[in-house]
């Protein structure tokens, strides 16, 4: 395949906003974690969690494990942001402050989150080991590294303010890695502990800016994925992508491939906004800015042919990054789903919690199963779920027709399709 490398600077903040504006996205994410906490402990509904907990990567990571395992004891020791960040550790350089790990005793509190990155680093190198973060206890070493990172943020915002502010809004906690604990790490972020970004002390403001754009791009995509439709039920069956650049032999699953395309596209726009890579002067040999546009194009070419494994939001994202929308041929092994007639009737599963977000049109649905289950659905699905919970099936169809201004026959057809989708998710059961 011949890859065409576009030099056009894509307006990625607008692409992101077309999927979900940043303030809406953060509200949905926080509401999602609040509902998850209530599914585990109903008493949490009477005392909502503070944002310093809802945004904490440690709390989010532990809650994710609870949802996967059902072990609620994992959240017994909550680590809010204030427990690891001193007051002057909040970098107020944009619309949303960035908390930097800085308290003297922060390392033990973050051992699980930072340790997960260390484990991954050990898999990739022969001499990995436990990572340690610099804090105020390290004096000048911490202060000097933080000063360069601040300069990097200022530089990045001067070059590409819209993109950088859009991405940094999703950095929940920034940690500076002690270089004495590893000489292999430049920057890293954790899918297991979302929102956490780790940087080694950068060599320059440009290097700090690049690393922040790179890792914040991953956090942006993660938030889009957990609140939208980036992947499908078939995504795990997609054959992996093998990048042609070193090291050889790597295989990336679809989710990682999409994340790489997005990070490269963000770095490419950052370089374009600066007027080209040459504007940054001499770059370190490990810089990805010179290859970002080319690699983003290569990966997007691959994604274009695998649109059947990508959700609707991923189609929008790829089109925004690459200028073309992925193909949507059906997955060959997907069984045809029979949509029953609306007259068959159905029953809403008992014990569901339907929660509307303060902003946007996403609706959250939770079920107190073991482990608890969470679903992000559209306003239409959420409304229909509420109608079916309080009305007979025929009454719900009439109410749907009135709410969405359509005919009874079209409403019946649409309700049948939506009910089938909800039945697939286990939110609805057909009446016998």
State yes or no: pLDDT of 335 exceeds 90: no
Note the pTM of the prediction, 2 decimals. 0.91
Q: Is the pLDDT of residue 412 over 90?
A: yes
| pLDDT score, position 357 | 92
Q: Note the pLDDT tens digit of each residue in 186-205.
A: 999 988 999 999 999 999 99
Q: What is the pLDDT of residue 18?
A: 96
Is residue 395 left, alpha or beta, with left meaning phi > 0 and alpha meaning psi from -120 to 50?
A: alpha
**Which one is predicted more confidently, 91 or 37?**
91
What's the rounded mean pLDDT across residues 18-41?
93
Both 267 and 360 in a single domain? no
Note whether 421 and 283 are same-domain residues: no
What are the φ and ψ backbone dihedral angles of 198, each rounded to 5 degrees?
-115, 135
Within-domain flag for 89: yes
pLDDT at 230: 95
- Are residues 62 and 186 both part of a single domain? yes
Same domain, 264 and 367: no
For residue 335, being part of any structural domain is answered with no
The answer to the question of residue 245 being in a domain is: no
Q: Could you tell me the pLDDT band of residue 431, with boundaries at 50, 70 and 90?
A: confident
Alpha carbon distance 414, 402 (integer Å)? 13
pLDDT attached to residue 346: 85
- 319/15 Cα distance (integer angstroms): 9
Q: Are strands 173-176 and 196-199 parallel, antiparallel or unpaired?
A: parallel
The answer to the question of residue 64 being in a domain is yes
Tell me: pLDDT of 91 over 90.
yes
Task: With respect to residue 374, please indicate whether it lies within any of the assigned structural domains.
Answer: yes
331 within a domain of the structure (yes/no): no
Residue 333: pLDDT over 70: no
pLDDT, residue 129, reads 66
The yes-or-no verdict on residue 95 having pLDDT over 90 is: yes
Strand runs (DSSP E) across 177-245, as ranges? 187-189, 196-199
**Domain check: are 88 and 144 in the same one?**
yes
pLDDT at 336: 45
Give the CATH number, domain containing residue 414. 3.90.930
pLDDT at 128: 57
Residue 7: the pLDDT is 37
pLDDT tens figures, 274-322: 999 999 999 999 999 999 999 999 999 999 999 999 999 999 999 999 9
Please give the pLDDT value at position 185: 87
How many domains does the chain contain in total? 2
Q: What percent of the chain is modeled with pLDDT above 70?
A: 92
- Kind and range of the H or E run holding 420: helix 408-425
pLDDT at 209 over 80: yes
Q: Are 216 and 170 in contact (CB under 8 A)?
A: yes
User: Is 396 found in the same domain as 426?
Assistant: yes
Residues 223 and 367 in one domain: no
Query: Are 272 and 401 in a shared domain?
Result: no
pLDDT exceeds 90 at position 9? no
Q: Which residue has the higher pLDDT, 369 or 17?
A: 17
Confirm whether 169 is domain-assigned.
Answer: yes
What is the pLDDT averaged over residues 168-196? 93
Residue 237: which pLDDT band, with cuts at 50, 70 and 90?
A: very high
What's the rounded mean pLDDT across residues 208-223? 98
In a domain, 147, yes or no: yes
Domain that holds residue 406: 342-430
Q: What is the pLDDT of residue 116?
A: 87
Q: Report how far apart, in Å, the C-alpha atoms of 205 and of each of 26, 88, 159, 170, 312 are.
A: 28, 20, 12, 21, 37
Looking at the fold, whether 311 and 365 belong to one and the same domain comes out as no
**Would you place residue 416 in the very low, low, confident or very high pLDDT band (cuts 50, 70, 90)?**
very high
Mean pLDDT of 54-70: 90
351 lies in the same domain as 313: no
């Amino acid at each position: 395949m011949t890859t065409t490398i576009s030099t056009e600077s894509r307006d990625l903040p607008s692409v992101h906003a077309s999927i979900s504006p940043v303030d809406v996205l953060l509200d949905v994410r926080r509401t999602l974690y609040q509902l998850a906490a209530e599914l585990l402990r109903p008493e949490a509904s009477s005392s909502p969690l503070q944002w310093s907990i809802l945004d904490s990567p440690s709390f989010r990571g532990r809650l994710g494990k609870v949802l996967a395992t059902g072990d609620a004891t994992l959240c017994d020791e909550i680590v809010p942001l204030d427990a690891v960040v001193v007051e002057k550790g909040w970098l107020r350089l944009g619309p949303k402050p960035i908390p930097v790990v800085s308290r003297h005793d922060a390392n033990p509190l973050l051992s699980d989150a930072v340790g997960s990155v260390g484990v991954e680093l050990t898999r990739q190198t022969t001499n990995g080991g436990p990572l340690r973060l610099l804090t105020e206890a390290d004096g000048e070493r911490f202060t000097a590294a933080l000063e360069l990172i601040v300069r990097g943020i200022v530089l990045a915002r001067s070059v590409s303010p819209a993109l950088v502010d859009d991405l940094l809004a999703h950095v929940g906690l920034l940690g500076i890695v002690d270089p004495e604990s590893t000489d292999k790490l430049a920057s890293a972020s954790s899918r297991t502990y979302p929102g956490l970004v780790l940087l080694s002390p950068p060599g320059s403001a440009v290097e700090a800016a690049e690393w922040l754009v790179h890792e914040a791009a991953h956090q942006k995509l993660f938030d889009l994925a957990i609140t939208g439709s980036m992947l499908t039920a078939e995504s795990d069956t997609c054959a992996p992508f093998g990048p042609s650049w070193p090291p050889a032999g790597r295989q990336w699953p679809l989710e990682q491939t999409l994340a790489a395309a997005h990070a490269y596209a963000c770095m490419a726009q950052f370089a374009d906004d600066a007027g080209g890579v040459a504007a940054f002067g001499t770059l370190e040999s490990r810089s990805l800015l010179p290859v970002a546009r080319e690699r983003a194009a290569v990966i997007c070419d691959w994604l274009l042919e695998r649109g059947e494994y990508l959700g609707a939001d991923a189609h929008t994202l790829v089109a925004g990054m690459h200028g073309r929308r992925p193909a949507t041929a059906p997955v060959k092994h997907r069984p045809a789903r029979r949509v029953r007639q609306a007259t068959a009737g159905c029953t809403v599963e008992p014990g569901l919690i339907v929660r509307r977000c303060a902003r946007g049109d996403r609706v959250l649905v939770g079920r107190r199963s073991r482990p608890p289950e969470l679903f992000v659905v559209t306003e239409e699905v959420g409304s229909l779920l509420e109608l079916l919970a309080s009305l007979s099936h025929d009454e719900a169809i009439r109410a749907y027709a009135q709410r969405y201004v359509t005919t009874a026959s079209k409403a019946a057809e649409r309700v049948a399709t939506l009910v089938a989708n909800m039945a697939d998710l286990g939110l609805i059961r057909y009446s016998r």
